[in-house]
Structure 1
Amino acid sequence: MTSAAEQSSPSNTPAADEVVTLLTELIRINTSNPTHPERPAAEWVAEKLDEVGIASTILEAAPGRASTIARVAGTDSSRPPLLIHGHLDVVPADASEWTVDPFAGEVKDDYVWGRGAVDMKDMDAMTLAVIRNWARTGVQPPRDIVLAFVSDEEAGGQQGAHWLVDHHADLFADCTEAISEVGGYSITVRDDLRLYLIQTAEKGIAWLRLRAENRPGHGSMIHPDNAVTELARAVTRIGEYQFPVHLTPTMREFLTRIADATGLPIDLENPEGALKYFGNAARMLGATLRNTANPTMLQAGYKANVIPSRAEATVDCRFLPGYSDELFDTIDQLIGEHVSRETITEDIAVETPFDGAIVDAMAAALKAEDAAGVPVPYPMSGGTDAKSFSLLGIRNFGFSPLLLPPDLDFSALFHGIDERVPVSALQFGTRVLDRFLRNC
């Protein structure tokens, strides 16, 4: 066994050649949450690791809700391990809306198509490709790597990462840093400059159920105490409200580094003014400047001529690190005294500094594959399993490296129709990940 540092730097590795096959196979395993539990995918991962002599363990939080955990030994056992975690579940897909079968894993027009192609079976496949190639060729990383292919991320992780942290924390207790999804992808500024967004923060989650209750009645009569009307007013107030802008440490550094790299006239006193420079990424980045609350579901009544006694709504709220109190206080003011709220799901916001040897290793790996690449930290509007693993004191980074075409609306592919990833981006990402893991 030879250390990764003693190996030549990868340029076109067997791992980059295998990654497409791995991704297409994994996409073909339908793991739509909650209807298709992850057990078949977890077993597939275990088989792929076993083929190259890596032992793994499958753990179930509930029947079928399975995660696969493995550990790859490094050359220096005194160093804390790196955790690589990726979820196996995906959101559902309506085949009638797609150009291709969302679970066929089809390669078409130099893209791999299918549900999970970017969220996040691509990273699962890249990780497996690198680790399998190392096992075949006798490469050993500089420190232990813990692999966690987990269930239930798309539903908040209560039967996935959260459950693992609560019941099997010993598997990850000595890890100090982790990498996972939604980071390391490129935004092209010009031909000689690409920004690679590495996620160092993400907003907290609060999914709320609002309820209005009042007297039922006949739909033909005058009835001022209508639960549907009361709830509709509250939902409208929430949907139309715009929270104030807050510049978090991550967003401040993001804008500062971009101004330095591009020379753009970015005013930190007016961060929203910078959004016009970010093209398709502006929607997501704009959401990381303020708390958000979006009504997503409504339910009331059972017959056209009956005024119901109850009406309910669901609101998807996301809060910036340090601003959860502002969110809940504002929601309570907006719903008024006649509408109640309860929490369906709540999870923390996370943030870590963009510094240290691990960041240096990311930057070096990206630069080696793309001389025009500049890594920058960014906050994400959504949530990942980083929330769970951060409870163990682990620093989390979104680092699933992809070199993307300038005109690809990448953020729209997450949970979107015709989800797909360029073959060249997968191969690029596998090479970057290989370089990074050899030197982190």
Structure 2
Amino acid sequence: MTITDLSDVATLLQRMVQIDSVSGSVCGRDRSEQPLIDMLHRQAKDWGLHPTLLPVPGHADQLIITARPPVEGDTRPLLLFDSHTDTVGVEGMTVEPFAAEVRDGKMYGRGTCDTKGTGAAMLCALRQYAETEVQPVRVAVLFSVDEEMSMDGIQHFLTHDYEAVVGDAASVNVIVGEPSDLRLYVVHNGVLTWKLSTSGVAAHSSRPSNGVSAITPMLTLLQAVEALYIPSVTACHGLTGTAACAVTMIKGGHSPNVIADHCEATIDRRLSAGDVSETPELATAALRKVSACLKRCLGDAAGTPEGISFCTHARTSTSPCPS
């Protein structure tokens, strides 16, 4: 079996990049990845491969492609490739994000590296493998959705489609096409995203005493998180390093001349692999202790106005994957 003609990979990649598949959570479009999934579905059929759409509630379909139709009782080992179809946003890019322009042997555009490039290479390799007479291993390519935000796609695949895809395979190996400078990674940290919110009472800024700012207690809360919680994040793994936590976003208020009645902050928490204390549930419980303590302090402080409330909830939760 010879190496796939790189021009085939480049041509397919160019078509993929030219389809805007920015994550729906970023661009605001429902099923924003569906046009790309549909194109890949058609291409797989044109190449004589066997594509199957896998519905994901609230998102575009996912796509699993095999060299041959599934056969019950097939015990050959399964090699599963995965590449996600969504991308991050295009804000701040200095090149046309969907032109897929080639300059000096390099292609430029959103998703060329993360991860449409690997997806194009995987599909072209599967096409070539499908043409071989002897296939000692079952090979499948999964195009998953919503990786950049909540990872709903791969989680739905694992809970609803994985067993059917694996079938009677004697063993399963999975290669995920994330950019890694061609280094092999066998473990990764988990991710947990929290939103903290504070509420107050709106009023015109010319009469601030008539309102209650939601921004002021948020600043106090975040200072407490950075002083009391983040230093406690010390779990470490030999391959992935130390767990991490950072305040990444904050927004509040509606107008420059109105006291803000709502403020929201986002905290990104990276969970260390291989540590039993590093679970989404335990991490959230620890953060809630900080916010609950602060709420009591503010409530007990003399002159603290009523109407302040705190809440925390996990928007994104993915446990670490051990080696």
**1:101 — aligned with what?**
96
CA contact (8 A) 1:77 1:143 kept: no
Letter in 2 for 1:341: T
Structure with greater contact order relative to length (CA < 8 Å, sep ≥ 6):
1
**1:290 — aligned with what?**
242
Alpha-carbon displacement from aligned partner over 1:229-267 (angstroms, at most 9, x marks no partner) = 11112223435644454332xx2xx4xxxxxxxxxxxxx
Equivalent residue runs for 1:144-163 within 5 Å? 144-158=138-152, 160-163=153-156
Alpha-carbon displacement from aligned partner over 1:124-180 (angstroms, at most 9, x marks no partner) = 0110121122334x254421112211222222232x222233333343344622111
In 1, Cα distance between the equivalents of 2:180 and 2:211? 54
Aligned CA distance change for structure 1 residues 304 and 184 (closer, same or farther; 3 Å): closer
* 2:146 counterpart of 1:118: no
Query: Which of 52, 56, 60 is residue 51 of structure 2 equivalent to?
Result: 56
**SS, match of residue 299 in structure 1:** strand
**SS, match of residue 209 in structure 1:** strand
Letter in 2 for 1:345: T
Query: Which of 200, 223, 227 is residue 236 of structure 1 equivalent to?
Result: 223
* 2:322 counterpart of 1:351: yes
Q: Which runs of 5+ in 2 are unaligned?
A: 296-309
In 1, Cα distance between the equivalents of 2:204 and 2:38? 56
* 2:76 counterpart of 1:79: yes
In 1, Cα distance between the equivalents of 2:113 and 2:226? 29
**1:275 — aligned with what?**
none
Alpha-carbon displacement from aligned partner over 1:276-318 (angstroms, at most 9, x marks no partner) = xxxxxxxxxxxx4222222232232234344334322121222
**1:44 — aligned with what?**
39
**1:202 — aligned with what?**
188
**2:305 — aligned with what?**
none
Letter in 1 for 2:192: A
Letter in 1 for 2:313: E
**SS, match of residue 10 in structure 2:** helix
* 2:22 counterpart of 1:32: yes
Letter in 1 for 2:36: A
* 2:89 counterpart of 1:92: yes
**2:266 — aligned with what?**
314
**2:181 — aligned with what?**
185
Letter in 2 for 1:123: T
Aligned CA distance change for structure 1 residues 99 and 302 (closer, same or farther; 3 Å): closer
Q: RMSD between aligned alpha carbons?
A: 2.9
Q: State the aligned residue count.
A: 290
Q: Which runs of 5+ in 1 are unaligned?
A: 1-6, 187-196, 255-287, 353-440
In 1, Cα distance between the equivalents of 2:175 and 2:116? 14
Once the two structures are TM-superposed, the CA of residue 117 in structure 1 deviates from its matched residue by: 1.0
**SS, match of residue 37 in structure 2:** helix
**1:16 — aligned with what?**
6
* 2:194 counterpart of 1:212: no
In 2, Cα distance between the equivalents of 1:216 and 1:100? 42
Letter in 2 for 1:181: G
**SS, match of residue 40 in structure 2:** helix
**2:302 — aligned with what?**
none
* 2:130 counterpart of 1:129: no
In 2, Cα distance between the equivalents of 1:292 and 1:100? 32
Once the two structures are TM-superposed, the CA of residue 91 in structure 1 deviates from its matched residue by: 1.5
Aligned CA distance change for structure 1 residues 148 and 344 (closer, same or farther; 3 Å): same
**1:337 — aligned with what?**
294
**SS, match of residue 5 in structure 2:** helix
**SS, match of residue 340 in structure 1:** strand
Query: Which of 291, 300, 309 is residue 252 of structure 2 equivalent to?
Result: 300
**1:356 — aligned with what?**
none
Aligned CA distance change for structure 1 residues 341 and 22 (closer, same or farther; 3 Å): same
Letter in 1 for 2:140: V
In 1, Cα distance between the equivalents of 2:202 and 2:56? 42
In 2, Cα distance between the equivalents of 1:141 and 1:183? 28
**SS, match of residue 118 in structure 2:** helix
Letter in 2 for 1:56: P
In 1, Cα distance between the equivalents of 2:77 and 2:315? 36
Aligned CA distance change for structure 1 residues 63 and 222 (closer, same or farther; 3 Å): closer
Once the two structures are TM-superposed, the CA of residue 109 in structure 1 deviates from its matched residue by: 2.0
Aligned CA distance change for structure 1 residues 223 and 305 (closer, same or farther; 3 Å): same
Greater Rg by CA: 2
**2:304 — aligned with what?**
none
Once the two structures are TM-superposed, the CA of residue 70 in structure 1 deviates from its matched residue by: 2.1
Letter in 2 for 1:289: G
Once the two structures are TM-superposed, the CA of residue 62 in structure 1 deviates from its matched residue by: 4.5
Equivalent residue runs for 1:257-268 within 5 Å? none
Aligned CA distance change for structure 1 residues 99 and 221 (closer, same or farther; 3 Å): closer
CA contact (8 A) 2:212 2:259 kept: no
In 2, Cα distance between the equivalents of 1:87 and 1:100? 22
Aligned CA distance change for structure 1 residues 105 and 218 (closer, same or farther; 3 Å): closer
Identity of aligned residues (%): 21
CA contact (8 A) 2:118 2:178 kept: no
- What is the TM-score with the length of structure 2 in the denominator? 0.78
Once the two structures are TM-superposed, the CA of residue 18 in structure 1 deviates from its matched residue by: 1.9
